[in-house]
Amino acid sequence: MEPKVFGDERGFFVETYREQVFAEAGLNLTFVQDNQSRSRRGVLRGLHYQLQQPQGKLVRAARGRVFDVAVDVRRGSPTFGQWAGAILDDETHRQMYIPPSFAHGFVVLSEVADFVYKCTDYYHPQSETGIRWDDPAIGIAWPREILYDLVLSDKDRQLPLLRDQRPEFLSVY
């Protein structure tokens, strides 16, 4: 999604969500939770998804620049194990919609980034799981300039590969 940005010497105005516009694009969504994180350059978060209460997410970088990624983890889907990614930043204000039952992650390319996301369901920490960011079977083309100074949480470092996910951890398409 690429919202219209109105700018002048004072700054800018951007409408980040309008129900009618999303409905016209075929996305009839109800959001129940907004989240924001701040991370420094090189921080990679993900690839996460929830087994219960899977969340659809409308994501954007309110400050800075990130490379954002979604991976289809729906068993039987024609795009199972495939990824899509985009640069999201505070200049273009581009947004990405991550459907429920897709793993999601991002890496910060600027010195600092504020990452904002609207969610279609509530966070359910008991059922959160994920896939390792560097799974060779998925082959995400992370930006090379950031790979030398990645910062991951211990939890993200220990995530399994897609092939090692228990079948019940993958959604049925």
* Residues with a known catalytic role: 48, 117
DSSP secondary structure letter of residue 165: S
What SS3 class is residue 126?
Answer: helix
Q: Write 168-173 long-range contacts (CB < 8 A, 24+).
A: 168/51, 169/51, 169/129, 170/73, 170/74, 170/75, 171/54, 171/73, 171/74, 171/75, 171/100, 171/101, 172/74, 172/75, 172/76, 173/74, 173/75, 173/76, 173/77, 173/80
Task: Compute the radius of gyration of the chain from its Cα atoms.
Answer: 16
